Amino acid sequence: MSKNVGEYLLTTRLGKGSFATVSLGQNRASGSLVAIKIISREQLNRKHTENLESEISILRNFRHPNMVELYDIKKTDNNIYLILEYCEGGDLQRFIKARGRLREGTAQAFMTHLAAGLKFLWERSLIHRDLKPQNLLLAKLPESLAHTAPATGGLILKIADFGFARHLEVASMAETLCGSPLYMAPEILEGRRYDAKADLWSVGAILFEMVVGHPPFGGANHLELLRNIKSRSLVVPEDVEIGVGCLEVLKMLLKRDPNKRASFETFFGAEFVNAGAGLPQYTITFNTDPPPRVSNAQLQP
Which residues carry a binding-site annotation for ATP?
A: 37
User: Angle at the Cα of 205 (from 203 to 208), degrees rounded to 5?
Assistant: 110
Residue 132 · residue 157 · CB < 8 Å: no
Residue from 72, 77, 91, 130 carrying the catalytic annotation: 130
In degrees rounded to 5, what are phi and psi of residue 143? -55, -35
Integer Cα distance of 73 and 298 in angstroms: 9
β-pairing verdict for 3-5 and 166-167? unpaired
Integer Cα distance of 57 and 222 in angstroms: 31
Radius of gyration of the chain (CA): 19
Integer Cα distance of 198 and 168 in angstroms: 12
For helices 244-253 and 104-122, the axis angle rounded to 10 degrees is 40
Query: Catalytic: 289?
Result: no
Instruction: List, by residue number, the catalytic residues.
Output: 130
